Structure 1
Amino acid sequence: GLGNTAIVKAFNLKIRDQLHAEIARMFYSAGLPFHLARNPYYVSSYTFSANQSISGYIPPGYNLLRTTLLQNERENIEILLHSIKLSWHEKGLSIVSDGWTDAQRRPLINFMGVVEGAPMFLRAVNCEGEYKDKWFICDLISKSILEVGPYNVVQVVIDNAPVCKAAGFLIETQYPHIFWTPCVVHTLNLALKNICADKHTEANEVVSEECNWISTIHGDVMFIKNFIMNHSIRLAMFNEFIHLKMLSIAETRFASVIVMLKRFKLVKHGLQEMVISEKWSCYREDDPEKAQFVKETVLNDLWWDKIEHLISFTNPIYEMLRLCDMDMPMLHLVYDMWDSMKKILKRQYIGMKGSEMMSSLVFILWWNKSNTPLHCLAHSLNPRYYSLSCLNEASNRQPLHQDNEISKERKNCLKRIFPNNEEFRAVQVEYAKFSGCGIFTDSDSMIDRGKIDPKHWWLLYGSSTTLLQKLALKLLGQPFSSSCAERNWSTYSFVHSIKRNNM
């Protein structure tokens, strides 16, 4: 008894239990998510207070948190970001932007600076009451460019809607060394939308009547999903036969049609078991015609074959979209990814007629819209594509300096980046040395072209071509999509929401 009492007193077990109860009660009463307990600042705040002698300490209140402490933390963040801002002159950065409508239906446009996979929030603009034409968007982009310094900016990445494209061209006119680059992920998503479009418009006129079956399949899938999800009894039957949930996918999500079809494929057998069960037969009387249509469709093998077929021939585009939807610096890889995908589609559907070939044409059309001179320049500065291992991968593969299209676009880029004739001539000579292996003939340099990271290669071996090395290191750190700007809206909606403000 005495020993236990001594241990309890020594470790303050009762006080610890009381503190645990108070913390838990805070979580339960305020509806705080449990994963807040994994936040390192949650742990460090209590650890710090336990290790200090702060008699009578009272935690900060409502007003202090939303005013003084918030301003102090912003200043702290600015200090932490200062070193990143200093690196922009050497590493360059990309301005990426995306639009969003918040819970109050306010149209917002945010701007972020990205380099080496590290996005930094710059600003969010409330465009309520504004006519968002090319001049207005161009003005917003220009303000962000001036904020970070025009000569630090390599490219502006936004979607390729007509108004954004026009604004991008205006930016290129104002700042010839800055390139407008369409978001690759947005472009891929538009290609999939054109293939799966439910009606023919000017935007998808390339899709022939032979693709109508795709929109029919999508319509059937959405009908079945809504028929099950919109009634509690049918949903209960679905949950009894199938452990996976029926997805509710917003149309704004990339490849939403394909994602839904993939989920239907996974629940195929459960759906079939459900519609042939006694429970389904007994309950379908509330809407017999619709229930019969669902049953006949789900049991139709030809219908499932079409779904499998649709998933199969759009899978290359879908997989590339997933690969591209990240913040990693991959500008130097995108040209090869597009080119490889174009060849796969042509090879896969060669000699075919109908929807598969039409899908290939749609993809190639969007590739032509998305391909930019900057993609070609970044591609041509990747040492891997000059290595013997890469050149031997295909019999018809040739060094990039022998490719007419790439050489033409590369020259156009270099002229814009180096408007001074002497510098342009010097960087052209440096590229000739790099591509022709002039001064890069030592064995380590040649072997490492296909072995190590391109940026590391330029740091190790590019010192003799200073202009080209500096340019390559900038381009190898740039993104090719605006995905980080879109993901930022999820963070924004968490930080600024009605529920959070009422806590």
Structure 2
Amino acid sequence: MKRRSIMNIVTHCAEGTSFIKSKDTSAISHTGEVIFELVDNAIEEVGAEHVVQVKTDNASNNMAGKALLLEKRPNIFWSSCATHTINLMLQGIGNIPRFKKIVDQAKGFTIFIYGHHRTLECMRSFTKKREIIRPGVTRFASQFLTLQSLLDKKDSSRKMVVDAKWENIKETSSKKAKEAYDTVLSVRFWNGVEICLKVFEPLVKLLRLVDGDVKPSMGFVYGELLKAKREIKEAFKNEELRYKEVIAIVEKKMRGRLDAPLHLTAYLLNPHYSYADSSIFDNADITTSLITCVEQFYHGCDEDIHDEEVNIEFTKFQRKQGLFGKKMAKNCVNFDYNPG
């Protein structure tokens, strides 16, 4: 299996995720045409009437496949993978020098601890056998979880490196050990860990939401991105000079990927947001996105259907009429979307 390229096709719906098929593409070029044929054949097998959207990452060959599919099946949406996009945000933020330095210091400390069985044994004796390293859904999520775990064990780690048990370990006389010692006793390092966590946490929470199979997340992606941006700004006490570089990365990565008409429409039609904040109904960009999605989804259909969806059904939703006025619908404002 080494160096083989395997493309997997899966379906996702409210009931969960199901594997459809895989294809070994090691011997062929991954062109837009190849991607298109693979996706189109899968749609044919499942039944086009059952498919609303296709999700891939934003690679150029996938976007070429998207264009070809749009020509053949203009009523099917093709969206960028939210997990991939949010991971790119975390990667970009993690590469900002002030954050990268903290992550590298934490990495250096954990590598030294886990690189020697005696230091690892020592650490476990001070943390009551609780590990520092914690795996996440992606490498950057793992970095966040490890920083979080390290902060939880701040006191025990600081006690460890000044204890006689640590000094009696042969490996603690090395240069790497001195760096680990300086890191864990540095006030600046721990302050940096705290700000890193405040910046990363909103995006990691969203990453867990979109990467999980427990609940469909499409209706929450855009709204939670807006919330994440607010929380990141608050982490910097709303001082633009401090947060603008981070927010610029988030906005650059989401542009054209997680703010497409389908995302905005899902945001608009989610009572969790629009029933809690009626000003969303007055946002021209968002309501225009609804019209765009209706036109695409009902492509080729009679215009009366477009009119019914936009001017009748949507109006009922906005005014909370009919079933939308039921207690269950109104309670969606307080819906628990937390991935756990």
* Contact map agreement 2:294 2:309 (CA 8 A) in 1: no
Out of 411, 414, 417, the residue aligned to residue 294 of structure 2 is 414
Q: CA deviation at 1:374?
A: 1.6
Q: Aligned residue for 1:339?
A: 226
Q: Distance in 2 between matches of 1:418 and 1:432?
A: 15
Q: CA deviation at 1:272?
A: 1.2
User: After the TM superposition, which of the residue ranges 158-167 and 119-128 deviates more from structure 2?
Assistant: 158-167
User: After the TM superposition, which of the residue ranges 372-381 and 345-354 deviates more from structure 2?
Assistant: 345-354
Q: CA deviation at 1:154?
A: 0.5
Which residue identity lines up with residue 288 of structure 1 in the other structure? S
Q: Aligned residue for 1:320?
A: 206
Which residue identity lines up with residue 18 of structure 2 in the other structure? M
Which residue identity lines up with residue 295 of structure 2 in the other structure? K
Q: Distance in 2 between matches of 1:344 and 1:250?
A: 21
* Contact map agreement 1:284 1:291 (CA 8 A) in 2: no
Q: Aligned residue for 1:374?
A: 262
Out of 294, 298, 306, the residue aligned to residue 427 of structure 1 is 306
| 1:293-332 correspondence runs (5 A) | 293-327=179-213, 328-332=215-219
SS at match of 1:436: helix
Which residue identity lines up with residue 167 of structure 1 in the other structure? G
Against the structure 1 CA distance between its residues 314 and 290, is the aligned structure 2 distance closer, same or farther, given a 3 Å change threshold?
same
SS at match of 1:420: coil
Q: Aligned residue for 1:222?
A: 107
Out of 16, 22, 37, the residue aligned to residue 118 of structure 1 is 16
SS at match of 1:320: helix
Q: Distance in 2 between matches of 1:284 and 1:415?
A: 71
SS at match of 1:110: strand
Against the structure 1 CA distance between its residues 433 and 228, is the aligned structure 2 distance closer, same or farther, given a 3 Å change threshold?
same
TM-score normalised per structure 2: 0.85
Q: Which has the higher contact order (CA 8 A, sep 6+)?
A: 1
| 1:120-199 correspondence runs (5 A) | 120-197=18-95
Q: Distance in 2 between matches of 1:225 and 1:214?
A: 17
Asked if residue 398 in structure 1 is aligned to residue 279 in structure 2, the reply is yes
Q: Distance in 1 between matches of 2:196 and 2:320?
A: 49
Q: CA deviation at 1:310?
A: 0.9
Which residue identity lines up with residue 366 of structure 1 in the other structure? K
Q: CA RMSD in A?
A: 2.8
Q: Aligned residue for 1:288?
A: 174
Q: Aligned residue for 1:263?
A: 149
* Contact map agreement 1:433 1:439 (CA 8 A) in 2: no
Against the structure 1 CA distance between its residues 449 and 432, is the aligned structure 2 distance closer, same or farther, given a 3 Å change threshold?
farther
| 1:86-125 correspondence runs (5 A) | 104-125=2-23
User: After the TM superposition, which of the residue ranges 298-307 and 121-130 deviates more from structure 2?
Assistant: 121-130
SS at match of 2:52: strand
SS at match of 1:451: helix
Q: CA deviation at 1:438?
A: 9.6
SS at match of 1:371: coil
SS at match of 1:413: helix
SS at match of 2:157: helix
Q: CA deviation at 1:191?
A: 0.4
Q: CA deviation at 1:383?
A: 5.1
Q: CA deviation at 1:123?
A: 0.1
SS at match of 2:249: helix
Q: Distance in 2 between matches of 1:383 and 1:297?
A: 47
TM-score normalised per structure 1: 0.59
- The alignment of Structure 1 onto Structure 2 pairs a total of residues equal to 329
Q: CA deviation at 1:192?
A: 0.6
Q: Distance in 2 between matches of 1:324 and 1:289?
A: 42
Q: Aligned residue for 1:353?
A: 241
Q: Aligned residue for 2:338?
A: none
SS at match of 1:353: helix
SS at match of 1:132: coil
Against the structure 1 CA distance between its residues 260 and 165, is the aligned structure 2 distance closer, same or farther, given a 3 Å change threshold?
farther
- Quote the sequence identity (%): 24
Write the deviation string for residues 414-434 of structure 1: whole angstroms up to 9, x where unpaired: 22222336x234332342223
Against the structure 1 CA distance between its residues 427 and 449, is the aligned structure 2 distance closer, same or farther, given a 3 Å change threshold?
farther
Gaps in structure 1 of 5+ consecutive residues: 1-101, 198-210, 392-396, 455-503
Q: CA deviation at 1:449?
A: 7.0
Q: CA deviation at 1:357?
A: 2.5
* Contact map agreement 1:274 1:280 (CA 8 A) in 2: yes
* Contact map agreement 1:158 1:182 (CA 8 A) in 2: yes
Q: Which has the larger radius of gyration?
A: 1
* Contact map agreement 1:107 1:127 (CA 8 A) in 2: yes
Which residue identity lines up with residue 244 of structure 1 in the other structure? R
Q: Distance in 2 between matches of 1:415 and 1:259?
A: 43
Q: Aligned residue for 1:365?
A: 252
